[in-house]
Amino acid sequence: MSADNTCPDVSVPLRNLLNSVQCIRDRVKDGESNESSGGFNLQNFWDTLSQAVKAASQEATKLSLSFSKPPLPSPQDCERLAESIQKSVLALSTVYYWLPKSQGMTLRRVVRDGTADVLDGLIQLIDIILSSPLQSLSQEQLTSTGGVWLSCDRFAHLPRDNQAAVLDVLLSCTAVVKDALEEMEQAQAESQDPFSDVLEEEDLVSRGNQDTYWSESDRQLLGPCRGLMKASAACLKKLSTAVKSNGNVGTAENIAQLDDLADIAKEISPSVDDLALSLYPPMDHSAVELNACRLASVLKKVLEITRASHVCVEAELSWVQFLDGAVDHNLQKAKTLAQACH
């Protein structure tokens, strides 16, 4: 933070406000919800939350305008402004706490992160006002105010129940896995041994595994590993469709099953990334085998949890069984090829 350029009478309530909003933000990030004893109305929650977010956005605008040009607000006006902002921040955090875990942990994380983003934006804005010259509206202050507005506007696009929240997670994971697969396929298409056109095939094999290209044994191992990555993409895509078509938030058990699906599905993309990274030359076949086993284990768990959940109606069983077999087939092939190269 740069030197304090506000007069002491004005900076004291702003500093107190900054500390207060930071404490509220920290509680939102770490705190527990007030578990309802029945009677929770999700639509009422969203209506009330939307009003609280709108109020926070308006308070941020008032704060920014008050310190956009001379004269400074009087100490009394600044005190009233700080109290008004604190009131809106407390209201926003209180409404967030209304959302019980029984409505879904995935949904709750989304609302928590959205609420924390608004509070982070306000903290940054107050901090900038405290540390900026007041002769004119700084670009930093404009950007920070816009950041609060953007965080508030995002609430209109948040998923409204746990089914929608879980679907968002699955679609995000699908995109990451698809990107990793495309990068690997592109690398495979572009990469070749620079000496492949001047050496006989037996000489190429004897050259072994070089640092900058895939050997023949590497290329053979790429096949089943890409098969596991493709199975990952297919699994996420099919699961997304099943959650969209069959997901239900009518009971606590169904909501919890959706959370379980989101939690295990989130393990797929980092496992795909680990496998993809180990495939680049120079390839360590032991590392590839280990990462292939880990990815296969995650996929088997996803399929097992899917099969046991309410989203897996009879029509979904065929793809679950098919992918289960595809994972086994590609893993066995990858292990055999990797061990042959040890």
Mean pLDDT of 305-311: 98
pLDDT, position 9: 73
Model pLDDT for residues 264-273, shown as the tens digit of each residue: 999 999 999 9
pLDDT surpasses 60 at 106 = yes
Model pLDDT for residues 169-215, shown as the tens digit of each residue: 999 999 999 999 999 888 888 765 444 444 455 544 544 445 668 89
Q: Is the peptide bond before 282 cis (omega within 30 degrees of 0)?
A: yes
pTM of whole model > 0.75? Answer: yes
CATH code of the region 8-157: 1.20.1420.10
pLDDT, position 35: 65
Distance CA 296, CA 325 (A): 11
Distance CA 59, CA 73 (A): 15
Confidence of residue 70 (pLDDT cuts 50, 70, 90): confident
Q: How many other CB atoms are found less than 10 A from the CB of residue 226?
A: 19
Mean pLDDT of 49-59: 98
Span of 45-59, 181-195, 327-341 with lowest mean pLDDT:
181-195
Q: What proportion of the chain, given as a percentage, has pLDDT over 90?
A: 77
Confidence of residue 99 (pLDDT cuts 50, 70, 90): very high
pLDDT surpasses 90 at 112 = yes
Residue 257 CB partners (closer than 8 Å, separation 6+): 305, 308, 309, 310, 311
Mean pLDDT of 51-63: 97
Residue among 262, 300, 286 nearest 338 (CA): 286
Q: Would you kindly state where each structural domain of the chain is located, as residue ranges? A: 8-157, 162-340
Burial 149-185 (b: 16+ CB within 10 A, else e): eebbeebeebbebbbbbbbbbbeebbebbbebbeebe
The secondary structure of the chain, three-state, reads: CCCCCCCHHHHHHHHHHHHHHHHHHHHHHHCCCCCCCCCCCHHHHHHHHHHHHHHHHHHHHHHHHHCCCCCCCCHHHHHHHHHHHHHHHHHHHHHHHHCCHHHCHHHHHHHHHHHHHHHHHHHHHHHHHHHCCCCCCCHHHHHHHHHHHHHHHHHHHCCCCHHHHHHHHHHHHHHHHHHHHHHHHHHHHHCCCCCCCCCCHHHHHHCCCCCCCCCHHHHHHHHHHHHHHHHHHHHHHHHHHHHHHHCCCCCHHHHHHHHHHHHHHCCHHHHHHHHHHHHCCCCCHHHHHHHHHHHHHHHHHHHHHHHHCCCCCHHHHHHHHHHHHHHHHHHHHHHHHHHHCC
Q: Do domains 8-157 and 162-340 have the same CATH topology?
A: no
The residue type of 107 is: L
pLDDT, position 195: 43
Instruction: Tell me how far the alpha carbon of residue 97 is from its chain's centroid.
Output: 21
Distance CA 102, CA 99 (A): 8
pLDDT surpasses 70 at 8 = no
Distance CA 246, CA 240 (A): 10
Distance CA 93, CA 295 (A): 39
Residue among 235, 214, 88 nearest 148 (CA): 88
Mean pLDDT of 111-122: 98
Residue among 303, 328, 327 nearest 316 (CA): 303
CATH code of the region 162-340: 1.20.1410.10
